Chain A
Amino acid sequence: MDANYFLGQDMIDALQNAYDKEISLTGKEIIKQIMDNAVVAKSEEVPMCQDTGFAVVFVELGQDVHIEGGSLEDAINEGVRRGYTDGFLRKSIVGHPLERENTGDNTPAVVYYKLVPGDNLKITVAPKGGGSENMSAIKMLKPAEGLEGVKQFVLDTVLAAGSNPCPPVIVGVGIGGTFEKAAMLSKESLLRAVGTPNPRPDIAVLEKELLNSINNLGIGPQGLGGRITALAVHVNVYPAHIASLPVAVNINCHANRHKEIIL
């Protein structure tokens, strides 16, 4: 619920910065409306966007934690059910991808688990809207296509997305691993506070370069033209097979929502 009502300070700062930098008057006006929207959503405790998303949940489970009284996944779904019902959030999930009957309570969530040392249980909820998720893409490049191939694919994906993911966006990129690992890397990179660089200096440089090239595309806020198409590019990498170079791009809209709790 909170994730849908309150935009994080990292996003508010990034938007203010974007407002200062945007040279298109229309673009500036749009960024201003997005910032005003965050203020209204917060003060009235209403969702900032009517698409309150698929509940994507990342669980970091300490190895020493023992959960009693039922399954964690059931508990998470019950939380989603209550949050979306009591919080007056839109129910956007259909129970069967082809039959498309709404489940009525926004369940089930998409849940990922990671086993970590210690005795904490950390749960991060990142509701994901359909508009931006639909514009994501993955490609298995040939290793010979290298860095240039990666850059080109990221730019092509953002260009093809155009106005659909409600720019300004945050672009998550996963490079390496396998098909699904690359997708996971790109999604996880979006959990970072906006604009926090990858700790690896070479990747941080790539993030900057990509941000620059994306903003040179001219798509701008809402795709109506301008210098600020993306607020940040986050790249995560992983070792790859000698024969492959997977690249995944996951786009997040300005309603970049996430909320963590540690139990």
Chain B
Amino acid sequence: MSEIKLITPVTDAITKKLRIGQKVLLNGVLYTGRDAAHKKMVELLDSGKELPIELQGQIIYYVGPSPAKPGQIIGSAGPTTSGRMDLYAPKLIALGLKGMVGKGKRSPDVIKALKQYNSVYFAAVGGAAALISKSIKKCQVVAYPELGPEAIYRLEVESFPVIVVNDTLGGDLYEEGTKKFAIRLK
């Protein structure tokens, strides 16, 4: 499969060219965040306060890693189910978040926001956590350390493999991929 190399932060010009089904290798900085961190960020926004991280052009990775062994940068770090972040994601996308990495379908609201703000959603392979960890070169807590594995970490990654699932045209690989390969009997 051919691969596209992306370096964060990314611009609209770059995200607009991505199409569903493409394999992308992410490089540069990714921020992690799960339900708890999303909830806190959206609460800050709703009360008119600043976020602990600058989102413009950035990509968030939905992950809660297993503990690191001594000498390891991070434990096994595969994607978690993105649907749990659907309620919060459109607000962050509106602030310039250009990409999210997770697993599983997104809600119509998220897909609409992606289209409107030229952002994309990528799937990482669920359960390929050990492999993914190898592409993570640095890991540092930047906000909410009290949340443990659910804190926001700043990761530096090299060739982190993902697949474009929702692009800026409103495409959805979960829908279209299944349709393409389904065999209808009768």
| Assembled-state Cα–Cα distance A19/B87 (Å) | 36
- Whether the Cβ atoms of A220 and B131 lie closer than 8 Å is no
In chain A, residues 170-188, which have Cβ atoms closer than 8 Å to a Cβ of chain B?
Answer: none
Tell me which residues across on chain B come within 8 A of A45, comparing CB atoms.
Answer: 69
- Whether the Cβ atoms of B183 and A218 lie closer than 8 Å is yes
Total CB contacts across the A-B interface at under 8 A: 158
Tell me which residues across on chain A come within 8 A of B59, comparing CB atoms.
Answer: none
Q: How far is the CB of A211 from chain B (nearest CB, A)?
A: 13
| Assembled-state Cα–Cα distance A162/B67 (Å) | 29
Tell me which residues across on chain A come within 8 A of B130, comparing CB atoms.
Answer: 37, 40-41, 44, 46-48
Interface-lining segment among B75-83, B92-100, B108-116, B151-159 = B75-83
Number of chain A residues whose Cβ lies closer than 8 Å to a Cβ of chain B: 47
Among B68, B134, B161, B181, point to the contact of A220 (Cβ < 8 A): B181
- Whether the Cβ atoms of B67 and A218 lie closer than 8 Å is no
Tell me which residues across on chain A come within 8 A of B125, comparing CB atoms.
Answer: 30, 33-34, 37, 166, 222
Among A44, A88, A164, A227, point to the contact of B181 (Cβ < 8 A): A227
Asked if B65 is an interface residue, CB under 8 A from chain A, the answer is: yes
| Assembled-state Cα–Cα distance A25/B181 (Å) | 11
Chain A minimum-CB-distance residue to B3: A29
- Whether the Cβ atoms of A50 and B63 lie closer than 8 Å is yes
| Assembled-state Cα–Cα distance A136/B132 (Å) | 27
- Listed in ascending order, the chain B residues whose CB lies under 8 Å from chain A are 1, 21, 23, 63-69, 72, 75-78, 81, 103-105, 123, 125-134, 149, 161, 163, 165, 173-174, 176-185
Given the known A-B contacts A34-B125, A36-B131, are A220 and B66 also in contact in the complex, defined by CB atoms under 8 Å?
A: no
Most B C-beta atoms less than 10 A away, residue of A41, A131, A166: A166
Tell me which residues across on chain A come within 8 A of B66, comparing CB atoms.
Answer: 46-47, 50, 52, 88-90
Q: How far is the CB of B110 from chain A (nearest CB, A)?
A: 15
- Whether the Cβ atoms of B131 and A222 lie closer than 8 Å is no
Asked if A219 is an interface residue, CB under 8 A from chain B, the answer is: yes
Among A25, A37, A52, A223, point to the contact of B178 (Cβ < 8 A): A223
Asked if A24 is an interface residue, CB under 8 A from chain B, the answer is: yes
Given the known A-B contacts A217-B178, A218-B180, are A163 and B104 also in contact in the complex, defined by CB atoms under 8 Å?
A: yes
- Whether the Cβ atoms of B63 and A225 lie closer than 8 Å is no
Among B69, B76, B123, B163, point to the contact of A50 (Cβ < 8 A): B76
